[in-house]
Amino acid sequence: MSLSMYAATVPPLRLMLKNLSAVISKAEAHCEARKIDPNAFLVSRLYPDMLAFTRQVQIATDNAKGAAARLANVEIPKFEDNEASFADLQARLDKTVAFLDTLTEAQFEGADTRTITLQLRDRTREFSGADYLTTWANPNFFFHVTTAYALLRHGGVEIGKTDYLAGSLLGK
């Protein structure tokens, strides 16, 4: 009658990181086929004061490893934020998936009621683990995954909802 915190966190994040990787592979192929400088996508923004594509992918992976690590009560892996190519971003997605794969169901015991404290820009915010996942981590993660997708789509890469949901369609 309920969802374990592990099941609510790790497999869905893993799935969407894999989907984002597949979407980025299409962008790489698109650039190669059309002799487009990949940097045109990497620095692209939907508005001048929005974050560029590379940052969207970096933050999506930060959201994923941050959420999973906080709920599993383990240290959050630190990445350097020095990605400069699609291949670098793919490696970052792979590293994030590899980190998720180290986590176990047992580490998420009690995660729903564990207090999660976040340092926001101007204050701290406390959540129960359950509220943290459903009202903070998920909305943030999907925001950046979708914005990364939107930047590629806006730039003409031939991707669709079936790419965004590729793994979900396959039932993986």
Size of the site for its own copies (CB under 8 A): 48
State in angstroms the smallest separation of the CB of 3 from its own copies: 5
Q: In this structure, which long-range contacts are made by residues 106-113, counting pairs with CB atoms below 8 Å and at least 24 apart in sequence? A: 107/6, 107/72, 107/73, 107/74, 108/4, 108/5, 108/6, 108/9, 108/10, 108/71, 108/72, 111/5, 111/6, 111/9, 111/71, 111/72, 111/73, 112/5
| H or E stretch at 5 | helix 5-34
The string of DSSP letters for 56-110 reads: HHHHHHHHHHHHHHHHHTSPPPP------SHHHHHHHHHHHHHHHTT--GGGGTT
State in angstroms the smallest separation of the CB of 110 from its own copies: 6
| Interface with its own copies (CB under 8 A), residue from 74, 104, 110, 117 | 110
Segment near its own copies (CB under 8 A); pick from 28-36, 46-54, 62-70, 88-96: 46-54
State in angstroms the smallest separation of the CB of 87 from its own copies: 25
| Interface with its own copies (CB under 8 A), residue from 50, 87, 91, 98 | 50
One character per residue 128-167, x = contact with its own copies (rule: CB under 8 A): --xx-xxxx-xxx-xx--xx-xx--xx-x----x--xx-x
Q: State in Å, rounded, how far the first CA of the chain is from the last one.
A: 22
Structure tokens at 120: 């926001």
State in angstroms the smallest separation of the CB of 128 from its own copies: 10
| H or E stretch at 117 | strand 115-119
State in angstroms the smallest separation of the CB of 135 from its own copies: 5
> Does residue 43 bind its own copies (CB under 8 A)?
no
- Residue numbers of the site for its own copies (CB under 8 A)? 1-5, 7-8, 11-12, 15-16, 19, 46-47, 50, 108-112, 120, 125, 127, 130-131, 133-136, 138-140, 142-143, 146-147, 149-150, 153-154, 156, 161, 164-165, 167-169, 171
